[in-house]
Structure 1
Amino acid sequence: MSTQLRLDNVSKIYGAEDTSVKVLKDISLEVKAGEFVAIVGPSGSGKSTFLSIAGALLSPTNGTVTIGGQEISRLSSQQLTDIRLQKIGFIFQSANLIPYLTVRDQLILIGELAGMKKSHSKKKATELLSRLGLGHRLHHYPESLSGGERQRVAIARAWMNDPEIILADEPTASLDSERGRDVVHMLADEVKSRGKAAVMVTHDHRMLDLCDRVVHMEDGKLSVS
């Protein structure tokens, strides 16, 4: 399988030289297509910073990031935006749905931003939501959904641009154990059936058996269990 995400000797330092804080310390990680990797570790260990750098939201102080075979450190802001739209799907702890858009329109917006025709966006959004058991919720607004339904909408939205990489930050934090496991099952199934690469930051060790590999982060360093 091809490598979809690669970080080589990545460090992130905040602050001036005399008061600097090194949040990430020479991290290297490779994630292949079809692989689901979990990152665990205590709060403040650098997990969210890692995901932001892996998702082209934040630049490393040192090291390189390669996404889909393209090294991104010298890309412009617009090129990085295009990378995020075309190659990366984000799932956050909170579903972060837009309150004034219906369930289907949440996905249609992403499709249009990624350059799809509206007719294609509508069709794809309907198919994705139906696949996740939300076909009866297409025209509902976020306030009328349960926590589990909102998170499933967020997953469908992350899949809308058919990304090569899925990055999930505590996707089960607001869900009970049963619904949380359902969400992670959906992620794992998508990774395997469609050859995606996925990285999930989680505190929920009950979900780790669904992942191919578990990586521990502590004090800005990675270690494989």
Structure 2
Amino acid sequence: MREKLIFEEVSKIYGEGDTEVKALDRVSFHINEGEFVAIVGPSGSGKSTLLSIAGVLLSPSKGRLLLDNKDITTLSSKEMTNLRLEKIGFVFQSSNLVPFLTVRDQLLLVAELAQKRSKVADYKADTLLERLGLSHRRNHYPENLSGGERQRVAIARAWMNDPEIILADEPTASLDSKRGRDVVEMLAEGVKSRGKAAIMVTHDERVLDLCDRVLTIKDGRLLEMNSTQKTNLKASYSNNFIS
């Protein structure tokens, strides 16, 4: 199975001397093609920093980051911007939709930014909206959508540039359990069917059973949940769902 994203001894350090803070401390892991990985941990543990580095929004202080076997650690600012447009899709906690754009135009904005607006982009936007059950909302504005619908639009927008990796930051935080689970199932299905990869930062234990692996971060260090812990988690979720 091909490796999509690789962290090699990645550290992120703020300050120096007595004021030095290690947000990430020699983090090494990889994500394979078709894999959906969750990262959990307490506030301030380094989750957001890790996601920002994976999304080329921050540069590591030490170590290397590889996407599709290409070292992207030392890219220029312009190259990083192009990489984000072409290779990375983002799903944020609050969906981050543009309030004055319709649902369809939210997706087409991605093509505009990448200078790839065409009939192909129009067709792709319509196909994504149909696939996520949003065709009837294509001309609606964000204020007219439910929380679950807004997150589905955010997912469709994230897939618009056919990225190699999806980065999701607390995508279920503003949703109830059913809508939150629906959103994560859509993310997981997209990753599998398209042969891509995804990292989801979350506090929502109810959706961790949908992930292939669960990584725990604490004080900037990364640990992987073992198979017994994950089995117990699935059993716990099933019992809660049934009750």
* Distance in structure 1 (CA, Å) of the matches to 2:129 and 2:140: 12
Q: CA deviation at 1:114?
A: 2.2
Kindly name which structure, 1 or 2, has the bigger radius of gyration based on alpha carbons. 2
Q: CA deviation at 1:179?
A: 0.3
RMSD: 0.9
Unaligned residue ranges in structure 1 (runs of 5+): none
Q: CA deviation at 1:20?
A: 1.4
Equivalent position SS for 1:222: strand
For normalisation by structure 2, the TM-score amounts to 0.91
The residue number in structure 2 matching 1:76 is 76
In the alignment, is residue 142 of structure 1 matched against residue 142 of structure 2? yes
* Distance in structure 2 (CA, Å) of the matches to 1:220 and 1:158: 27
Unaligned residue ranges in structure 2 (runs of 5+): 226-243
* Distance in structure 2 (CA, Å) of the matches to 1:96 and 1:64: 29
For residues 98-132 of structure 1, give each alpha carbon's deviation from its aligned partner in whole angstroms, at most 9, with x where no partner exists: 00111000100101222323322221111101110
The residue number in structure 1 matching 2:28 is 28
The residue number in structure 2 matching 1:113 is 113
Q: CA deviation at 1:70?
A: 1.1
Q: Percent identity?
A: 66
Matches within 5 A, 1:150-189: 150-189=150-189
The residue number in structure 1 matching 2:191 is 191
Name the stretch that deviates more: 175-184 or 109-118.
Answer: 109-118
| Alignment length (residue pairs) | 225
* Distance in structure 2 (CA, Å) of the matches to 1:133 and 1:117: 23
The residue number in structure 2 matching 1:16 is 16
The residue number in structure 1 matching 2:228 is none
* Distance in structure 1 (CA, Å) of the matches to 2:67 and 2:55: 9
* Distance in structure 2 (CA, Å) of the matches to 1:204 and 1:100: 30
* Distance in structure 2 (CA, Å) of the matches to 1:101 and 1:209: 35
* Distance in structure 1 (CA, Å) of the matches to 2:90 and 2:31: 16
For normalisation by structure 1, the TM-score amounts to 0.98
